[in-house]
């Protein structure tokens, strides 16, 4: 027997069209679309559905989007086992254990996490440098020449020229590209290094790197993309409404704090 659409469906078609457009154009998740529509009062309550109902419509194939399109529903890989020897790899600088508690709680603005995303040749080609502000989730993304210290330092100097006054701290892992980061940041802000092979200590980076991977999947040669491609990806993520931000966007929150 054919599955009939519920009566309410006919009352919310404009909202559903809004969702499909936001999803296809900007990659907004159902929860982001619902939250943003409510925050801006784009529709009356009777003209829209909640997140749970929106997922039900997708499950029942009422829309032109299916579950395979929803990155949130894809399974995640289990964490890799880390050997004891790896855990005791030498830190590149000041330990995260010395980082102020206010950074962890996101109470204050200006504390960043930094990481790199590698492409097809495990960092032997262009890589993406990501810098994310912990409180607002605003991202600064740059395409750099490789996963080593010189390109990372060069990119950071250009970032400091624009954002230096608001940087209160940076948290990095112990990758070779960050070997000179404390020297680059010496007159700007302290740099803290996570325990080796403990990616959870840079949770914001980890979550947002997966979001960036939607545009640049694993196995993609980053030599084939341009700085404009990276800037476009950053713009899309910075204008994505977030539940943690009351369905404001990182760009809106960052502008309010930075301005």
**pLDDT of amino acid 247:** 93
Residues forming beta bridges with residue 129, ordered by sequence position: 116, 142
pTM equals: 0.72
Q: Where are the beta strands (DSSP E) in 119-256?
A: 127-133, 139-144, 169-172, 191-193
**pLDDT of amino acid 255:** 93
What are the C-alpha distances in Å from 193 to residues 76, 103, 114?
26, 13, 10
Residue 143 near residue 136 (C-beta atoms within 8 A): no
Q: How far apart are the C-alpha atoms of 255 and 200, rounded to whole Å? A: 27
Q: Looking only at Cα atoms, what is the longest distance across the chain?
A: 70
| 51-59 vs 30-39: helix crossing angle, rounded to 10 | 140
Q: How far apart are the C-alpha atoms of 207 and 242, rounded to whole Å? A: 13
Residues forming beta bridges with residue 139, ordered by sequence position: 132
**pLDDT of amino acid 3:** 56
Q: How far apart are the C-alpha atoms of 109 and 135, rounded to whole Å? A: 6
Long-range contacts of 161-165 (CB under 8 A, 24+ apart): 163/258, 164/188
Q: Over the chain (259 residues), what is each successive 10-residue block's mean pLDDT?
A: 61 86 82 88 88 86 75 47 45 85 90 91 81 95 92 95 96 92 96 82 82 88 93 94 93 88
**pLDDT of amino acid 76:** 44
- Reduced DSSP (H G I as helix, E B as strand, rest coil) percent helix, strand, coil of the chain, to 5: 50, 10, 40
Strand pairing category for 169-172 and 139-144: unpaired
**pLDDT of amino acid 41:** 87
- 3 state DSSP class of 116: strand
Residues forming beta bridges with residue 113, ordered by sequence position: 132, 171
Strand pairing category for 127-133 and 139-144: antiparallel
Question: What secondary structure letter does DSSP report for 138?
Answer: -
Q: Which of 175, 187, 126 is nearest to 149 (CA)?
A: 175
**pLDDT of amino acid 7:** 58
């Amino acid at each position: 027997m054919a599955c009939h659409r519920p009566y309410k469906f006919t009352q919310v078609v404009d909202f559903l069209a809004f969702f499909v457009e936001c999803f296809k154009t900007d990659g907004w998740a159902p929860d982001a679309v619902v939250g943003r529509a409510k925050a801006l009062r784009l529709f009356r309550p009777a003209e829209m559905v909640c997140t749970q109902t929106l997922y039900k419509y997708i499950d029942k194939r009422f829309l032109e989007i299916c579950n395979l399109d929803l990155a949130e529903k894809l399974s995640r890989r289990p964490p890799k086992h880390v050997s004891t020897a790896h855990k005791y790899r030498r830190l590149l600088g000041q330990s995260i254990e010395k980082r102020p508690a206010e950074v962890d709680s996101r109470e204050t603005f200006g504390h960043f996490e930094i990481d790199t995303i590698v492409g097809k040749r495990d960092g032997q080609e262009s890589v993406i440098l990501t810098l994310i502000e912990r409180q607002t989730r605003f991202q600064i993304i740059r395409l750099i020449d490789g996963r080593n210290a010189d390109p990372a330092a060069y990119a950071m100097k250009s970032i400091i020229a624009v954002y230096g006054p608001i940087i209160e701290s940076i948290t990095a892992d112990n990758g070779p590209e960050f070997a000179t980061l404390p020297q680059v940041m010496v007159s700007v802000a302290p740099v803290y290094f996570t325990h080796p092979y403990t990616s959870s200590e840079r949770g914001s980076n980890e979550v947002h790197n997966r979001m960036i991977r939607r545009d640049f999947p694993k196995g993609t040669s980053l030599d084939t993309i341009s700085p404009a491609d990276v800037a476009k990806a950053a713009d899309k993520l910075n204008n994505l409404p977030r539940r943690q931000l009351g369905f404001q966007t990182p760009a809106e929150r960052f502008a309010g704090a930075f301005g």
